[in-house]
A = this chain, B = another copy of it.
């Protein structure tokens, strides 16, 4: 009588966990698409809709906007850090990876405004923290005589300037405008591509 149908009990639990993992992955993928198109101001309801789940499911995985945005932007920032940590990488190579992500994602572009925007306006702390990581990755590779090395804030002002130029729809158009902006700044940029750590 105390014999419980253990397997049957375990199976639904496992299925529940698998379904939860599937939902989370679908939500992150949906958020990546929605934020890339519309920026970080896109409503969370659009993310849930794109993922094909209810808003309750979204809130169970991501209690607030910051946790969704961090899950999505973390990957952009990690690629830039990895590119910067690669043996023999120069600033131009890392700027190529940065530019790829600027062309890809309106959310990433919005994040790069964040640090500059700090001070008074409502900049989410996660965006500032991620932007600081980008700055750190670039700064270690900045040569002393680089056009962006003259004054303390120039490096990230230039990144914000390129972000300002990267508007409109379509990767080709956005890449073209980003490269025109770097050219106007007199800054060399390597191939525009995502970082490939060789494990893919």
Contact = CB atoms under 8 A, between A and B. Distances in A.
Interface string A103-131: 00000000001001111110000000000
Contact of A148 (B160, B170, B184): B184
A134 interface: no
Given A119-B173, A161-B161, A185-B185, A154 B168 contact: no
A153 interface: yes
Interface in A143-173: 147-148, 151, 153-154, 157-158, 160-165, 167-170, 173
Q: Bin chain A's interface residue count.
A: 20 to 34
B116 A168 contact: yes
Contacts of A121: 167-169
Contact of A120 (B41, B113, B151, B169): B169
